[in-house]
Each structure stands twice: as structure tokens, then as C-alpha cells.
Chains A and B, each alone.
Chain A
Amino acid sequence: MNLYSTSLPKETVWYFIRKRIGFFLVLSGFIIIAAGSSRLTGFSLIDAFQAIPRVVSWMFSNLIPDKRAFERLPRILEKLWDTILMSVMSSVTAAVFAFGFALLGSVTTKPNNFFAVFSRATASINRNIPVAAWAMIFLLTFGQSSFTGFLALFFASFGFLTRAFIETIDETSISSVEALRAVGAGYSQQVMQAVMPSAMPQMISWVLYMIEVNIRSATLVGLLTGSGIGFMFSIYYKSLQYKSASMVILTIVVVVLLIEYISNSVRRRIL
């Protein structure tokens, strides 16, 4: 049979025409929404593009670190180290609690429905409060301190990780847990012998991701709570020492990239 001479069935032709029409509808929908919202907010893409050269030249004259900024580097790095430690600590502590809650909340390991609903509700409330709001909440009770920053990061991470761990457990261990149940294994045996080995690599990967996120948010949280690298930034910024402030930003960027690189290589090894 010659593949090229037979004509396509009508419904096949129509199927592809319909798909193409659908694509154009979605595309024009996007354009309309973008145009509409830019009118509403007074934001113009063209103005924004025209402003780029000005922004760049301002950045070059004001944000290239000078000698003074370099002299401050040791102190900046010290604060940065504090921030990294705080991010790692808040992520890891949150992970421990999140694992407990995830065991209660996942379909695979929930002891009963009451705990499951309780765990999922707690996680989802936590997750939907932004880290800045957490910082504000704890500022009222603990004042400006690194403990406030730690708590803010901890609670935001806890909600996110609980949710991520619940999904990981259900995705990776539901079948092996069932097998262990059939064998007569008890709850803690199921958790240690089936859930842990199956879910651990993915959970570690989530914690690494959380550390990355937390280093970024630690900057913002530090601004509010007067601690860590964010605090350094706000001091320089408020005293109009933009070159030192940009030094802070540069070190943050380098650290975030470094952490991302490290966690990617760890991931490659364990997954």
C-alpha cells in the first residue's frame, strides 16, 4: 500500500484542525490577558525595555563593589555563614518534624483518618503562610533576633516539607508497605524497613531544595528580624552604601549557586 496516495480520513483531518484552533485560542487568550493587565496596572513593556539601558548604567556606576566593600568582605562572609547555618538548621529540624507528620498524613502510613486530616490541615495552613508573615508573627513575641528568623524559616519549611514528604511516601512505598503488612510486620517495622529505604533519597532531595530556598528567604527574613546577611544588606542599603550592599548580593548569589551545585551532585548520587 502506498502511504502517500491514500487520503486521510475526514475525522483525522478535523482532529488536527481542531487542535490547531484550540492552540490559537489559548495563545490569543494569553495575549489579551497580558495586554489587559498591563493597561490596568499602567505597566508598559515598551517603557520597561526602554528603561533597561538606564538601569544598567546606574548599576555599573553604583553597584560595582569598591575597595571599601572588599574590606568589609570578611564581616559579610561571617554573617553569610550564620545565614547558611540557620538555613540548614531550620531545614533539617523542619524535616524531622515533617517526617513525623507525613507518616500521620500519608495514605500509606496513616494510623487513622483523624490523624491524617489533622496532619494535612496543619501542613496546609503552615504552607500557605508566607515566610515574611511568619517572621512578622514571631517578631511580636521574640523581637529582633536570630531565633525569630529561625522560627520563621522553620515553620514555612515544615509546612512545605510535610506536604512533599506525604507525596513522596505515597508515591514510593505504598506497595511495599502493603507487602510487609501482609507478612505480619508491625507499624514501626513497616516504616523502617519499607518507607525509609524507599522514600529516603527523594526526601533528602527535598531537604536540599529546602536549604536552597531558605538561604534565599533568609536574606528577606534577616531584613525583618535584624539578623544574618539580610541585616547587613539593610544597614548598607539604608546608609546609602550601595557598593557594599551589592557586595552582599553578590556573595549571596555565589553561595546560592554553590549550594545548588552541591545539592545537584548529591542528588545525582542518591537518586
Chain B
Amino acid sequence: MPQLHVKNLTKYYKDVLALSDVSFAVEKGDFVGIIGPSGSGKTTLVRCINRLITATGGEICLNNDKNILEMNRSEIRKARTGIGMIFQHYNLVDRLTVIENVLHGRLGYKNTVSGVFGHYTEGEKRKALEVLGLLGLDEHVYRRCDQLSGGQKQRVGIARALVQEPEIILCDEPISSLDPGSSKKIMDYLRKIQSELGITILVNLHQVDVARTYAKRILGFNNGKLVYDGPSELLTTERIQEIYGKEAHELILN
């Protein structure tokens, strides 16, 4: 039984069709790369999964649970606790410290009052420290996030997702703002999270070669349509051409 089921997913922004009848399923522990030219619907897709964007129609089910599109406010909050998200621009509260940002990952589990005042249990704090250790951030626990480099900020973003103890992590171009060195480090961490913790990873990528290196499976989008769904080894030059159209030429040269 697949962990994530997306069926006939469609998204219109007013009259712009961003996702057109998209269907696929993801097994638990998969590493899935999502590629496609810019504007093809990658961001829209991952944001529909945790309903940061409300899809127009279709079905998204986690663990055969209720359709995410039909959940009410408290149901969606609960569902989101199991879905981590990593952003291109890290989306941290820059003026707070590393550990405060990491603990934000627990907010979905907390009651309103303790969440509002940032009151975390000892266990949650221990978990945060453990995760920060895992990501090599032990030395920066009490530093304010605006003093960190881009790569460090993204690791804090990953740590925040990990303390959620999610079963799936969505990443929207996690390395597009980073230099090649930091990019590799972040991708390696994502791989480690998938292989060692068994967390499913869905990652939007701008770079086809990175997607091919890390992902076992590739979803290729063009103009809101899923035009490739298969293992990364079968992603041939022709396939890339189908996904990227005219842009493919430059991609293959690089």
C-alpha cells in the first residue's frame, strides 16, 4: 500500500492551469525528485500536499487516511504535523536562536497556550538537541539565525522538520540559494534522513543532474502535466527533452 496517494489533482489559479490531472503514488521511504522547467507546477504540487495551497480538485491521501482536500481546520493541522517542509529561503525566524527555531517544529503538537508562550517539554528540548547534533549544528545551538550562513540556515530548516518526527518531508528547491559545496552537503543530509530514518523525501529540484544522483524515482512536469514518472536510470536524453522542451538543449550541454 503506498504511503502517499495523489489522484487526478488539479489546480487553477483563477484561469491559469497550474496542475492538470496529476496522479501518482509514493511508497514509504522513497526518495523522489520532481523536475521540470520553471512554471511547470512543481511548487504548486508540493504545497498542495500539505495544503499551503488549496487544490481545485482531486485527491491526496496519506496512509489511506481522509482526503487532505476535504479536511477541516483541526484535521489539517494534525495532518501537517506528520509532513515536514523545507524551503528555498529557509523561512526561519531570523531574530530567534537556532534551538528556538528548531522547537517550532513541535508547535503542531502543542496546545494553544504552551505553543504561544514557547513552553516546551524536557523531552522536546532533548529531541531538538539530538537532531541538531545529527546535523552538525552542536556549536550553534544558541546563536541567532541571522548570524548563520545559508547552508547552516538550511540545516536548521531540516532540523525543524525532523523534530516534527514526520513520515514524509517535502522540499521546495532546497539548494537553489546555496553554493555547490553547501548544496552537496544538504543533499547528502537528505539522503541520510531517507536511508537511515526511513523518512520519505519529495524534493523539487532545478538541477536534473542532482535529481538523477540522489533520487531513485523522478517525476517530470511540463506545463502542469506529469510527463515522466519512473526510475532515474531510465531518464534518458529524449525523456529530458520531453520534460524540458526547448530548454533541454542547455541542460544537456551543462
Q: Chain A: residues with CB nearer than 8 A to chain B?
A: 173, 175-176, 178-186, 188-189, 192-194, 197-198, 201
Contact = CB atoms under 8 A, between A and B. Distances in A.
B85 interface: yes
B89 A189 contact: no
B93 interface: yes
Given A175-B87, A176-B91, A176-B92, A182 B50 contact: yes
Contacts of A185: 77, 104, 107-108, 115
B104 A182 contact: no
Given A183-B105, A184-B80, 10 more contacts: A176-B94, A179-B91, A179-B157, A182-B80, A184-B77, A184-B109, A185-B77, A185-B108, A186-B112, A189-B107
Interface residues of B, number: 32
Nearest to A177: B91
Leading 10 A-B pairs by shortest Cβ distance:
A184-B108, A184-B80, A185-B107, A179-B91, A189-B115, A182-B85, A175-B91, A184-B81, A192-B116, A176-B93
Contacts, number: 82
B78 interface: yes
10 contacts: A175-B91, A176-B91, A176-B92, A182-B52, A184-B78, A184-B80, A188-B116, A197-B93, A198-B94, A198-B95
B109 to A, nearest CB: 8
Given A178-B91, A198-B93, A193 B52 contact: no
B73 to A, nearest CB: 9
A96 to B, nearest CB: 17
Contacts of B110: 189
Given A179-B160, A182-B80, A186-B77, A193 B116 contact: yes
A110 B62 CA distance: 29
